[in-house]
Structure 1
Amino acid sequence: MNRIRTAVVCAAAFAVVAPLSACGDMASGAVGPEHGQPGHVMLAAATVAGVGAVVTDASDKTLYRFDKDMSQPPTSTCDGQCAATWPPVLAGEAPPMLKGIQDTQVGTLTRKDGSKQLTLNGWPLYEFSGDKAPGQANGQGVNGTWFAVAPDGSKITAPAAAGS
């Protein structure tokens, strides 16, 4: 009889603890795609010569923000041809991995097409199709409205490095 009671108590304890430990895994980002796998997004602080500390993606490409967007509420105004030149940074299946970026600063917005775009301090994030290699910031200052984004979400107003 005592063995049955012990087994029941152990089973009950397991039923309570197992879901809690699973929630802990989800909160720490352990559930979902592995680093570098499809569905995984990374935002990292890096330094680009002549521009300074910027946010980059998993491919070390500089990320940008657009002055015609809004941060409150987060709103993207870059669609169609604009989005072809300035591809939005889309959210992955799991929370993004962050390096040198505050997780409380990262969010998402829903674009007109229904996709989820990452934001930093409310500002929608974009890549620039003219950046062909890591460390480039060819989009810096384009049309006086596109700027590399700093790790805190602010725009960087430094001119792009020559030849970047």
Structure 2
Amino acid sequence: MLRLRTSAAIAALALSASAAAAQDSPTLSAEQSEEYGQYIVGPHSEPVYLFTTDMQGNGGEPTISCTSEECLDAWPLVTTNSEVTVGPELDPSLAGTFSYEGQTVVTYNGWPLYNFMRDETGQTPQGQDIHSFGGEWYLVGPQGEQIEEESTE
């Protein structure tokens, strides 16, 4: 019985340590590129996008229009199992979540956030200004606006 309690206690400590380590890394932060300037990335440093046919949730709950399996396979929603945290370049008051089909979806400036299946961490974003599924996909800037043009820096 004592051995079982000790094993359970060790397992609980390991889970707490891994959860604490995960919380050290912000859910959303910003990266810089010559091509697009500063844009938001998710918890695994992958670029995040907004979809122009979604309804921005300023003062209310956002509406997702990318609902088909095909759309969500290409553009998976950014979800979380904990509180949204942001890096120093971002405004914490613009970060939020809402519930969608049993998932907690991450938002910024009221926009539901998506990843793009062709993006790879550390590489140039591949989903910028793509026209598909009846709308347009754009990177999100630190102020919560869509990035429409290449950077002039």
For residues 32-52 of structure 1, give each alpha carbon's deviation from its aligned partner in whole angstroms, at most 9, with x where no partner exists.
922337xx7620011123011
Map of 2:99 onto structure 1: 110
TM-score, normalised to structure 2, is 0.73
2:138 is aligned with 1:152: no
Which of these residues, 98, 121, 124, is aligned with residue 112 of structure 2? Answer: 124
Deviations 1:32-85 (A, max 9, x none): 922337xx7620011123011100123221110000101133111112211110
Which runs of 4 or more aligned residues in structure 1 lie more than 6 Å from their structure 2 counterparts after TM superposition? Answer: none
CA distance in 2, matches of 1:48, 1:101: 16
In 2, the alpha carbon distance for the partners of 1:77 and 1:50 equals: 28
Q: Give the TM-score taking structure 1 as reference length.
A: 0.69
SS in 2 for 1:35: helix
Q: Indicate whether 1:48 and 2:33 are aligned.
A: yes
What 5-or-longer segments of structure 2 have no aligned partner?
A: 1-17
Q: Paired residue for 1:87, among 76, 100, 104?
A: 76
| Greater Rg by CA | 1
In the alignment of these two chains, the number of paired residues is 125
Letter in 1 for 2:110: G
Structure 2 counterpart of 1:126, one-letter code: Y
1:70 equivalenced with 2:55 (yes/no): yes
SS in 1 for 2:71: helix
* 8 Å Cα contact 2:84/2:96 also seen in 1: no
Report the identity percentage.
28
* Distance of 1:152 and 1:33 partners within structure 2: 29
**2:20 maps to what in 1?**
34
Give RMSD over aligned pairs. Answer: 2.1
